[in-house]
A and B are shown apart, each in its own frame.
Chain A
Amino acid sequence: MLPFSFEWIWDPSHLVFHGGLWYALTIIGLGVTYCVIKAVFDSIKDKGGQQH
């Protein structure tokens, strides 16, 4: 549930529960994105090195 959902209430329970979920999912998402992007750049860099 996101704050724009009609069921959302600005109370501690919603903030703690959903805040915890978003916090965890954000860390997981950022971590995986970082790994994938870095792997793409590293692979391109290696390919470039191969050509010269």
Chain B
Amino acid sequence: MDSALIPKGVKRCPIWQFALWIGANGAVLAWGAFAMLLIYIKGLNQTNMNNAYGFALWIWADLAVIALGGGAFFTGFLRYIVGKDEIKNIINFAVLIGVICYTSALLILGFDVGQPLRGWFIFWHANVHSMLTEVAFCLSAYLIVLIIEYVPVALENRQVDKIPFFHKLGHNMHEVMAVFAATGVFLSFFHQGSLGGVPGVLFARPFGFREGVFIWPWTFFLFTWSAAAVGPCFTIFITKLTEKITRKKLVKDNVIELLAKISGWMILFYIIAKIADTLYWASVTAPSKGFTFLQFYSDNPGSWYGLWILILEIGICGVLPALILITDKGRKNQASLILAVFLAVLGVALNRWVMVLQVLAIPVLSFESWAMYFPSWQEIATTILPVAYGVIMISASYRYLPIFPQERELNPMDEPAPEAQAVEPEPETTEAGPEPELSPAES
């Protein structure tokens, strides 16, 4: 039924199977949308946020998806600025993941603002002394960049590409993509950093507070670095997951291994910096504010924030994946590769959790006690909503767009599928037709 839209030379599941898959994810999406409507209609009383938790599950989800979406800007940097040619085989997918992550982040921010119709206030009535203003500016501008990077991929759809204007547009956009990618790197550096800067400047919250350079606390640089390091791990993880679901090899091993190697070294240097930062904070910064290190990790209900969280974040989800990914053996073994990228993703998500929620949980005055929080179902549903949206976006893009340029080569079709025969034949390229140039992805 939709075979005319499916890229040439690749096999896709029947439409009914695809519709069932989309329908199942659509049900989750609808549940999230229902919770979203409740929040928009009834207000923020639908959440479990309170005076202790002005930032809660949504802000953690925002910070986590923004860090994981960092794979888009870093692979763009590697491809267009550094010139790593192999990355072209995974960059489309990295951009798609980036688009999903950043649209999700802005959607969640829309809930959190409470009055989304006033979202434009931050641009027009900007507080130019706030890290969050910088985040809002760069986040919105970077989403535009990501959409621009995704448009040429969408224009490569078999039917859309037949229209000469769109074919030319996609080609032109690829030609100047380095400019957009460089702008994306600039924007990402600042918004990733400023998200880290927010806990770092909270001098009344010694768990988050850090010294730094000029106006930037160390957390500014650690957040940017960790997003650049772990973003590609998330891209690899989702690629492997997509391969598992589609039961196909979609990206060659040398591409994955290159990305994993760069990511591994980035994580290693990040984790060394993170350990140094933690040691200095524990021995100098926190004591100077009247706190001992163990006060941040003890006497809380159920040991939700025990020392285990620090060991898990830095040791198991930091040092371990870095060591796996920097070794040739670790990268070549599928099980250890997947374990390493999964741990790295978990580590950065845990880091954002700690820097958003543990910061607010710890008592800072002598008469206070630990403030614990569990999100309402509406918060959980609206946080799961972007996951369903992401699955639908990836499924539709995989089905209708040449998102993996190596798929055809890695999965040759012996004979044309019956569905493909029913499709009207592609018009032969003549002098008068579109130029017989390389497809934008190939070029």
Tell whether A28 pairs with B125 under 8 Å between CB atoms, given A34-B172, A35-B173, A40-B165.
no
Bound form: Cα–Cα A1–B431 in Å = 50
Chain B's closest residue to A21 (CB) is: B137
Please give the distance in Å from B341's CB to the nearest CB on chain A: 31
Main secondary structure of the interface of B (DSSP, over half): helix
Tell whether, in the assembled complex, residue B144 and residue A17 are in contact, meaning their CB atoms are under 8 Å apart: no
- For residue B141, CB closer than 8 A to chain A, the reply is yes
* Contact for B176 among A5, A31, A46, A50, CB less than 8 A: A31
Task: Map CB proximity to B onto A14-39 as digits: 1 under 8 Å, 0 otherwise.
Answer: 10111011001101100110111011
Tell whether, in the assembled complex, residue A24 and residue B183 are in contact, meaning their CB atoms are under 8 Å apart: yes
- For residue B129, CB closer than 8 A to chain A, the reply is yes
Main secondary structure of the interface of A (DSSP, over half): helix
Tell whether, in the assembled complex, residue B179 and residue A17 are in contact, meaning their CB atoms are under 8 Å apart: no
* Contact for B164 among A18, A24, A38, A43, CB less than 8 A: A43
* Contact for A21 among B141, B168, B180, CB less than 8 A: B141
Bound form: Cα–Cα A5–B125 in Å = 9
Tell whether A28 pairs with B183 under 8 Å between CB atoms, given A17-B134, A49-B432.
yes
Within 8 A of A (CB), among B101-136: 123-126, 128-129, 133-134
Tell whether, in the assembled complex, residue B141 and residue A24 are in contact, meaning their CB atoms are under 8 Å apart: yes
Tell whether, in the assembled complex, residue A13 and residue B168 are in contact, meaning their CB atoms are under 8 Å apart: no
- For residue B169, CB closer than 8 A to chain A, the reply is yes
- For residue B187, CB closer than 8 A to chain A, the reply is yes
In the bound complex, residues from chain B placing their C-beta under 8 Å from that of A24 are 138, 141, 183, 186-187
Tell whether A35 pairs with B176 under 8 Å between CB atoms, given A1-B123, A5-B124.
yes
Within 8 A of A (CB), among B405-431: 431
Q: Which of B124, B125, B126, B145 has the most CB of A within 10 A?
A: B126
Tell whether, in the assembled complex, residue B179 and residue A46 are in contact, meaning their CB atoms are under 8 Å apart: no
- For residue B190, CB closer than 8 A to chain A, the reply is yes
Chain B's closest residue to A42 (CB) is: B168
Tell whether A25 pairs with B123 under 8 Å between CB atoms, given A32-B148, A39-B165, A42-B168.
no
In the bound complex, residues from chain B placing their C-beta under 8 Å from that of A21 are 123, 137, 141
Tell whether, in the assembled complex, residue A31 and residue B179 are in contact, meaning their CB atoms are under 8 Å apart: yes
Bound form: Cα–Cα A50–B176 in Å = 27
